Amino acid sequence: MGDEIQPPADQLAAVSLSSDAASSSTVKKERFSDRVLVKSILGRPDGGAGLSGQKVRISGRVKTGREQGKGTFAFLEVNDGSCLVNLQVMVDASVYDLSKLVPTGTSVVVDGYLKIPPEGKRTKQKIELSVEKVVFVGTVDKDYPIHKTDLSLKYLRDYTHLRSRTNLFAAVESIRDELEKATHGFFGEEDFLKIRTPIITTSDCEGAGEMFQVTTLMSKPVLPVKDGRIDYSQDFFGRKAFLTVSGQLQLEISACSHRSAYTFGPTFRAENSHTSRHLAEFSMVEAELTEADLEDDMNCAEAYVKYMCEWLLEKCDDAMEFMAKNADEGCIERLKSVAMTPFERVTYTEAIELLEKAVSQGKVFENHVEWGIDLASEHERYLTEVVFQKPVVVYNYPKGIKAFYMRVNDDGKTVAAMDVLVPKVGELIGGSQREERYEVIKERMEEMGLPTEPYEWYLDLRRLGTVKHSGFGLGFERMVLFVTGMDNIRDVTPFPRYPGRADL
Amino acid sequence: MGDEIQPPADQLAAVSLSSDAASSSTVKKERFSDRVLVKSILGRPDGGAGLSGQKVRISGRVKTGREQGKGTFAFLEVNDGSCLVNLQVMVDASVYDLSKLVPTGTSVVVDGYLKIPPEGKRTKQKIELSVEKVVFVGTVDKDYPIHKTDLSLKYLRDYTHLRSRTNLFAAVESIRDELEKATHGFFGEEDFLKIRTPIITTSDCEGAGEMFQVTTLMSKPVLPVKDGRIDYSQDFFGRKAFLTVSGQLQLEISACSHRSAYTFGPTFRAENSHTSRHLAEFSMVEAELTEADLEDDMNCAEAYVKYMCEWLLEKCDDAMEFMAKNADEGCIERLKSVAMTPFERVTYTEAIELLEKAVSQGKVFENHVEWGIDLASEHERYLTEVVFQKPVVVYNYPKGIKAFYMRVNDDGKTVAAMDVLVPKVGELIGGSQREERYEVIKERMEEMGLPTEPYEWYLDLRRLGTVKHSGFGLGFERMVLFVTGMDNIRDVTPFPRYPGRADL
């Protein structure tokens, strides 16, 4: 899918619906409002036909409206966000001033009767609404910025407060929501404790990336200075504080209490990245498994990704079908394939051999390939997209390119680290078995020139009854990209933050 | 409960367990490790007796250990975090050096056979483990800071990386986890969309509180200055950015797309509060309901709180019983009462009359009572704890003390705002019907001297097809305080942040 086209709303009419709507012959209104959700009408197995004759209140937004019969009545395609399909609503000119209802974007609340449209008529729907009373109208000014249906994604990024009204963004939001539900479902079933790791931190997860500083000093007329430096003892927390780059280290506390745990939190990178894969604020799902080695860790990561794919196939077929029609033809097949096929597993050393073989056969990479390099994105994508054409787990990386907390393997050269690479996205998950041996981790920190003082608490977890454990982190927005087939990470989170932009 | 006592572990022996453990005669190991959870043994209806003879691997921490029979064997009380009850583990001196196993805090992995203890013996448990092999031992240094069981909560706040090993903190964490599950359960059942509202924001939710600034400028050698002021055009986002104080305004975007939504996010206040009710970083559950007025909003807030109480009663009886025994005797009765009794609802005007009546009868408040004041915490607690002795919803507050976005009532004096007050805590929830009328909200912003420029996007939601909607926010840590009976908010979040403290 290119970056330009937002598909027209009427491509949606035939999209099927996933819904738990009952098949009873009475409508069910929302519990905390007087309206009935369109999903609970059109999502029924009978397409709503069995509700003919029922009186309902509908609230929604006019996607398209047109006056007909020389202005004696109007048809409105009304969307209420509960599903991607619109309800066809018929209003007679005797009921309301039609010119106020038809503009795209108008918000309406209407009471009326459901009825089966006359045979052979212009709708594919089994039921439409004949309006008895217009309860409320929220008009749109003429400058409504999203009145057209062929707006580019780039254009819509300037309207983050309105773009969720489009079908594409509504579909992506639903899929994101279901992926989050699947995450809680998976870790709940496996009995992991959900832990609230901190957002403001005074620990640095080993330079995982540039950090944002959190301060109240800049609101003072003059920054406090001591010995020629900013005096952080006067800052809110009495010392320098940052936005977290990872909840891993704190999550290990739980794993070391023998309770496997996960966290689903915002994480931050103050990096000047302008790519379609990076955000300054994003979401990570991080898990730490007690009494688990690297293989257990890989098994868990793979099972989690498969679980999410299965979940979407089961719960999200209308939104996924929409994405297949409008964004990425192969996205449903990809879900099925990921859910059913075992991931490939290769050591880093094997991966390098595969890349070197490709180079010897004429493949050109921008970055040189040899044992010891950190795999570049082009290498990762070549492995998953060209060599294996499915998700690949690469494990046992050279010690020199990995973090101090990863467990040193018996060969002394590699660490028990793993990355899950997937087509379209590259690295989706990174993880490792954690070094649980106090002497080994201390020596490694010294080797790497890391100060031990800020990590005393972390070392305590090894010194005071250490526990074997492993963990991983999944970039949640990358998972949304992977399943939806969207191209730009700025379009799969409602309020993207990147250099120069933090709208709203 | 005072701030001093952490209850001894052995008070737990008789605590009942909630568990889905099967009653089959084979044990079920964890999916991503080789161990069997203690919960899946002791949590069975038969207390584990039916598993006698089974071989299992257990990993956990020694709560207490003692050598017996002149050092020929040892009994270890082992906890693995899956439940509050320990498994009794028997090790023979021929199997391992017992002196290495018995210190409190030692981490062990053992293989052994489950067996029914001899009748009349020292355990209340139906089953114990007889160790065949000690697979792994993580020893503790002599300075283990939580080797005693009568440590004060204040002392434990200096050991946030170790306190989750105590029963009290494990119980609170379980309850917190279940409250979060209940939250997703409730809003999922009501078909609310979960939205990821931003953490870094350039909007201010109408001065809900002092904000933390987020910046990369302070890492530069010299702050960039233009016209005598800090030049924020050179900051990461090209302008001043903050940590969010509320996701409400952004969540309204979804409600105005006709989709009721909720968010569960970290929120921040840079206030110099040293009370037992305030944190600098906390969690808020915020909901926005489409096509809902204030009464719908109150109904939803009440139903949500009741749902959480019912959930805990159903899923969390071991942790709740622990709290009842060790922290707050009445906590289970309180849950039952809140789940079953309708909340009282009074207007602000009625509330003031009740308070004035109390004053006339001799009750002394620190803060003067008259129509127009913002209720102080002492007033709120008097209403909920003394007058009604149950949760109270106070609604229709004076316009002058409330935010610009709250809907002005027909009387012109009050707004459609509501607060839910509960015993022990005071304000648990704040909410309102939002002002959906463009002209009214604009006039009100002018009245209050608010600049409209930063809120243009928010005004767009009223100008471009406005929608009736209402919402509320619940302070999640306050809910944990309310249900657990804990006294200090710093003890119900794993990593508390407050002035001067952001450990780890």
* pLDDT tens, residue by residue, B410-466: 999 999 999 999 998 999 999 999 999 999 999 999 999 998 888 999 999 999 999
Contact B214 A214 (CB under 8 A): yes
Number of C-beta neighbours around residue B72 at 10 A: 11
Residues of B in contact with A140 (CB under 8 A): 463-465
Q: What is the CATH number of the domain that holds B13?
A: 2.40.50.140
Contact B291 A33 (CB under 8 A): yes
Whether B184 and B127 map to the same domain: the answer is no
> Of the ranges A225-229, A360-364, A376-380, B376-380, which one carries the lowest mean pLDDT score?
A225-229
Among A41, A10, A18, residue whose Cα is nearest residue A124 = A10
Residue A257 domain flag: no
Whether A383 and A486 map to the same domain: the answer is yes
Contact B266 A266 (CB under 8 A): yes
- Give A69→chain B minimum CA distance, Å: 26
Contact A281 B198 (CB under 8 A): yes
Residue B333 confidence (pLDDT) above 70: yes
Cα gap B114→B393, rounded to integer Å: 53
pLDDT-derived band at B291 (thresholds 50, 70, 90) equals: very high
Q: Are strands A241-243 and A193-194 parallel, antiparallel or unpaired?
A: unpaired
pLDDT-derived band at A223 (thresholds 50, 70, 90) equals: confident
Residues B23-46: tens digit of each pLDDT? 567 888 999 999 999 999 999 999
Average pLDDT of the segment spanning B268-287 = 95
Residue A487 domain flag: yes
Residues A459-479: tens digit of each pLDDT? 999 999 999 999 999 999 999
Nearest residue in A to B142, CA atom: A464
Tokens at B65, concatenated: 């250990």
**The pLDDT value given to residue B207:** 60
Tokens at A362, concatenated: 């004429």
pTM (predicted TM-score): 0.94
pLDDT-derived band at A23 (thresholds 50, 70, 90) equals: low
Q: What is the CATH number of the domain that holds A418?
A: 3.30.930.10
Query: Who wins on pLDDT, A243 or B504?
Result: A243
Number of C-beta neighbours around residue A460 at 10 A: 21
Cα gap B84→B421, rounded to integer Å: 32
3-state SS class at A65? strand
pLDDT-derived band at B18 (thresholds 50, 70, 90) equals: very low
Closest CB from A35, A107, A173 relative to B193 = A173
The proportion of chain A whose per-residue pLDDT surpasses 90, expressed as a percent, equals: 86
Residues of B in contact with A217 (CB under 8 A): 218
Contact A107 B467 (CB under 8 A): yes
Contacts of A408 (CB under 8 A, 6+ apart): A399, A414, A415, A416, A435, A440, A444
3-state SS class at A225? strand
The alpha carbon of residue B431 and the mean position of all alpha carbons in its chain are separated, in whole angstroms, by 19
Among B79, B73, B74, B85, residue whose Cα is nearest residue B126 = B85
- Give B406→chain A minimum CA distance, Å: 18
Cα gap B394→B383, rounded to integer Å: 10
Residues A60-85: tens digit of each pLDDT? 999 999 999 999 999 999 999 999 99
Contact B468 A215 (CB under 8 A): no
Residue A2 confidence (pLDDT) above 60: no
Residue B164 domain flag: no
Whether B384 and B440 map to the same domain: the answer is yes
Residue A183 domain flag: yes
Closest CB from A162, A259, A502 relative to B202 = A502
pLDDT-derived band at A98 (thresholds 50, 70, 90) equals: very high
Closest CB from B32, B215, B249 relative to A213 = B215
Residues of A in contact with B253 (CB under 8 A): 160-162, 164, 494
Whether B466 and B373 map to the same domain: the answer is yes
Query: Best of A249, A464, A479 to disrupt the B interface by mutation (most B CBs within 10 Å)?
Result: A464
Closest CB from A165, A180, A191 relative to B82 = A191
Looking at the structure of chain A, the number of domains it has is 2
Closest CB from B32, B215, B500 relative to A237 = B500
Nearest residue in A to B57, CA atom: A291
- Give A7→chain B minimum CA distance, Å: 18
Residue A457 domain flag: yes
Q: Are strands A261-268 and A193-194 parallel, antiparallel or unpaired?
A: parallel
Among B388, B289, B378, residue whose Cα is nearest residue B338 = B388
> Of the ranges A156-165, A359-368, B214-223, which one carries the lowest mean pLDDT score?
B214-223
Whether B402 and B314 map to the same domain: the answer is yes
Contact A465 B138 (CB under 8 A): yes
Whether A304 and A358 map to the same domain: the answer is yes
- Give A203→chain B minimum CA distance, Å: 5
Residue B8 confidence (pLDDT) above 70: no
Whether B21 and B116 map to the same domain: the answer is yes
Nearest residue in A to B203, CA atom: A504
Whether A180 and A79 map to the same domain: the answer is no
Tokens at B493, concatenated: 């979040």
Whether B53 and B181 map to the same domain: the answer is no
Nearest residue in B to A498, CA atom: B237
Closest CB from B194, B465, B493 relative to A105 = B465
Contact B467 A105 (CB under 8 A): no
pLDDT-derived band at B205 (thresholds 50, 70, 90) equals: low
Q: What are the angstrom distances between the C-alpha of A465 and each of A200, A457, B60, B165?
A: 28, 13, 10, 11
Residue B1 confidence (pLDDT) above 60: no
Mean pLDDT computed over every residue of chain B: 92
Tokens at B435, concatenated: 């002002």
Query: Who wins on pLDDT, A7 or A365?
Result: A365
Contact B213 A214 (CB under 8 A): yes
pLDDT-derived band at A316 (thresholds 50, 70, 90) equals: confident
* Domain span at A378: 175-189+292-491
Closest CB from B165, B230, B257 relative to A165 = B257
Amino acid at B24: S
Among A337, A312, A344, residue whose Cα is nearest residue A484 = A312
- Give B93→chain A minimum CA distance, Å: 21
Closest CB from A139, A174, A292 relative to B33 = A292
pLDDT-derived band at A21 (thresholds 50, 70, 90) equals: very low
Residues of B in contact with A82 (CB under 8 A): 191, 258-259
Whether A115 and A179 map to the same domain: the answer is no
The proportion of chain B whose per-residue pLDDT surpasses 70, expressed as a percent, equals: 93
* Inter-residue contact B420 to B343 (CB < 8 Å): yes
Residues of A in contact with B205 (CB under 8 A): none
Residues of B in contact with A243 (CB under 8 A): 199-200, 214
- Give A77→chain B minimum CA distance, Å: 14
- Give B253→chain A minimum CA distance, Å: 6
3-state SS class at A443? helix
Whether A466 and A322 map to the same domain: the answer is yes
Average pLDDT of the segment spanning B80-101 = 96
Residue A208 confidence (pLDDT) above 80: no
Closest CB from A59, A214, A495 relative to B212 = A214
The alpha carbon of residue A332 and the mean position of all alpha carbons in its chain are separated, in whole angstroms, by 17
Nearest residue in A to B253, CA atom: A161
Residue A127 domain flag: yes
| Residue reference for tokens 């929501």 | A177
- Give B101→chain A minimum CA distance, Å: 11
Contact B214 A216 (CB under 8 A): no
Average pLDDT of the segment spanning B44-59 = 95
Cα gap A193→A196, rounded to integer Å: 10
Nearest residue in A to B293, CA atom: A33
Nearest residue in B to A39, CA atom: B191
Residue B225 domain flag: no
3-state SS class at A476? helix
Tokens at B372, concatenated: 């127009």
* Inter-residue contact A306 to A343 (CB < 8 Å): no
Whether B75 and B184 map to the same domain: the answer is no
**The pLDDT value given to residue A292:** 98
Tokens at A38, concatenated: 């369109």
Number of C-beta neighbours around residue A358 at 10 A: 18
Average pLDDT of the segment spanning B247-256 = 96
> What is the DSSP annotation of B341-369?
SPPEEEEHHHHHHHHHHHHHTT---SS--
Residues of A in contact with B177 (CB under 8 A): 193-194
Query: Best of A79, A160, A161 to disrupt the B interface by mutation (most B CBs within 10 Å)?
Result: A161
Closest CB from A188, A259, A464 relative to B144 = A464
Contact A291 B201 (CB under 8 A): no
Among A300, A336, A299, residue whose Cα is nearest residue A317 = A336
Residue A15 confidence (pLDDT) above 60: no
Residues of A in contact with B203 (CB under 8 A): 504
Among B421, B426, B497, B434, residue whose Cα is nearest residue B470 = B434
Contact B461 A139 (CB under 8 A): no
Among A393, A390, A454, residue whose Cα is nearest residue A419 = A393
Residue A234 confidence (pLDDT) above 80: yes
Nearest residue in A to B194, CA atom: A177
Residues of B in contact with A145 (CB under 8 A): 464
pLDDT-derived band at A205 (thresholds 50, 70, 90) equals: low
Size of interface A-B (CB pairs under 8 A): 340
The proportion of chain A whose per-residue pLDDT surpasses 70, expressed as a percent, equals: 93
Residue A10 confidence (pLDDT) above 90: no
Residues B106-154: tens digit of each pLDDT? 999 999 999 999 876 656 789 999 999 999 999 999 999 998 878 999 9
Residue A266 domain flag: no
The alpha carbon of residue B219 and the mean position of all alpha carbons in its chain are separated, in whole angstroms, by 34
- Give A312→chain B minimum CA distance, Å: 15
**The pLDDT value given to residue B7:** 41
Residue A446 confidence (pLDDT) above 70: yes
Closest CB from A236, A281, A458 relative to B270 = A236
Among B219, B425, B187, B174, residue whose Cα is nearest residue B323 = B174
Taking the CA atoms of residue A115, residue A76, residue A165 and residue B255 in that order, the dihedral angle to the nearest 10 degrees is -60
Residues of A in contact with B35 (CB under 8 A): 290-291
